[in-house]
Amino acid sequence: MSMKSLSTTSFNVCFPPTYLNRFNILTLEPPTILLPSTFRRPRRTSSLICMAVKLADPDVVSNPSEYQKLAQSMSELDVVVTTFRNFRECEKQLEEAKALTKEEGIDEDMAQMIATEVETLTKQLQEFEEKLKLLLLPADPLDARNIMLEVRAGTGGDEAGIWAGDLVVGAYNEHNKVHMYEKYSERNSWKFTPISFSEAEKGGYKTFVMEIKGKRVYSKLKYESGVHRVQRVPLTETQGRVHTSTATVAIMPEADEVDVVIDPKDIELTTARSGGAGGQNVNKVETAADLFHKPTGIRIFCTEERTQLRNKSRALQLLRAKLYEMKVREQQEQIRTERKSQVGTGARSEKIRTYNYKDNRVTDHRLKMNFELTSFLNGDIETAVQSCATLEQKELLEALAESVNVPSS
């Protein structure tokens, strides 16, 4: 496997190229591994100064997208620098306290106070050290992006469609009672907008795509990709039997035009009448956009907007996100293969959760943890999300420690 060698202040560390690719280039620094007793002054302080200079550049100020990216990266680096300074200050205080224990003529009470101080500072130093390890892990450059969330009914017939609807939104179908992702978005003050959907006959949806915008949306919802299984008595069941149904969730980071280049020759675009709400325009004029991508076989039918041009733009936006998600998924698979990790980033064949209505329980199979069903379906999934992030950090630490042949603590 091809490796790239990076020089640190104390030793040389080899990283797979994929780790370097994951690291946000805006930090201007390669990923750094800081192991116990090897902390030195971080070169990221100079990066912070460099970013501050760039933020004052009129060209950057006039570009809202670039300015936002730099400001976000600067904020993240500031946390690293502040934590490192606290670490060094704690380290200095600990050395001074240990020096006092060697002085002569100290009475018993003073010796006890110094011993307590040494114990407290040692614990604080270990906490700062662990925090720095996590902060200096390679950052996922996609974390700050908005997303397209796609839910598809899986196995289970009509009940699968109803379950798919329960996961996304409730305002668009009278059968939906929970709409988990809508409520989670509200808890995070994110903006959600339906892009495309196909209603199921008995309620719910065959497919539903929504756009979610806000602060670091992908960093949280990326762990939701996969198969969500439900066990309950469906509305369509007349004899009270428990059925097992599934819905598939795909999280697609928003892609810029420079991220995915679509050849116009690869696209077939037709129009149709939208129907439904929107007045005579959508019923008499062909405003709906039916887009087919020949190389992948992806078909997108968009009717949400009231003009053909806007529906075409929405369809291309969704196609771009789908193609980008495929590209990202391939890169993630390569990363998992190289580091021999099973973080659970959401291959679509991966069954990630089971929702058991009878026992009022949600089981996350990646975490091997259970949650209370009612609150979970009401959008209280933050504990599960943070637990997935912690698991990913642990896997990264183990993989990076293995790459330098140092056992992880």
Q: What is the pLDDT of residues 79-90, one digit of tens each?
A: 888 888 999 999
Question: What is the separation, in whole angstroms, between the first and last Cα of the chain?
Answer: 26
- Residue 406 and residue 240 in contact, taking contact as beta carbons nearer than 8 Å: no
Give the other-Cβ count within 10 Å of 51's Cβ: 22
> What pLDDT score was predicted for residue 370?
96
Measured between alpha carbons, how far is 128 from 85 in angstroms, rounded to an integer?
A: 10
Answer yes or no: pTM beyond 0.95. Answer: no
Q: Higher confidence at residue 161 or residue 335?
A: 161
Tell which residue, 348, 353, 379, 347, has the closest CA to residue 366: 353
CA atoms of 278 and 308, how far apart (whole Å): 13
Q: Is 401 helix (H, G, I), strand (E, B) or coil?
A: helix
Q: Which residue has the higher pLDDT, 16 or 368?
A: 368
- Is residue 212 pLDDT above 90, yes or no? yes
Closest CA to 249 of 115, 358, 319, 149: 149
C-alpha–C-alpha distance, residues 283 and 275, integer Å = 5
- Which range has the worst mean pLDDT, 64-78, 155-169, 296-310, 379-393? 64-78
pLDDT-based confidence at residue 218 (cuts at 50, 70, 90):
very high
Q: What is the pLDDT of residue 117?
A: 92
- pLDDT at 60 exceeding the cut of 50: yes
pLDDT, residue 175, reads 42
Is 19:37 a contact under the CB 8 Å cutoff? no
Predicted local confidence at residue 46, as pLDDT: 62
pLDDT value for 335: 53
> In DSSP terms, which residues pair with 205 in a beta bridge?
199
Residue 189 CA to residue 270 CA, distance in Å, equals: 36
Q: What is the pLDDT averaged over residues 110-133?
A: 90
Weakest-pLDDT range from 69-73, 123-127, 248-252, 376-380: 69-73
Say how far apart CA 156 and CA 139 lie, in whole Å.
39
Q: What are phi and psi of 71, to 5 degrees?
A: -65, -40
Mean of all residue pLDDT scores within the chain:
76
Task: Quote the pLDDT of residue 14.
Answer: 36
Q: What is the pLDDT of residues 163-174, one digit of tens each?
A: 998 888 653 444
Residue type, 391: L
- Give percent above pLDDT 70 in the chain: 76
pLDDT higher than threshold 70 for residue 32: no
The bridge status of strand 361-364 relative to strand 191-199 is: unpaired
Confidence band, pLDDT 50/70/90 cuts, at residue 123: very high
According to DSSP, the residues that pair with 14 across neighbouring strands are 5
- Residues 6 or more apart in contact with residue 283 via CB below 8 angstroms: 273, 274, 275, 276
Asked if residue 180 lies in contact with residue 139, where contact means CB atoms within 8 angstroms, the answer is: no
Q: Parallel, antiparallel, or unpaired: how do β-strands 226-232 and 351-356 relate? A: parallel
Mean pLDDT in residue range 225-254: 87
Q: Is the model's pLDDT at 283 over the cut of 50?
A: no
Is the model more confident about 213 or about 303?
A: 213
pLDDT at residue number 230: 92
Q: Is the Cβ–Cβ distance between 29 and 44 less than 8 Å?
A: yes
User: How confident is the model at residue 224, as a pLDDT?
Assistant: 93
DSSP state of 139: P
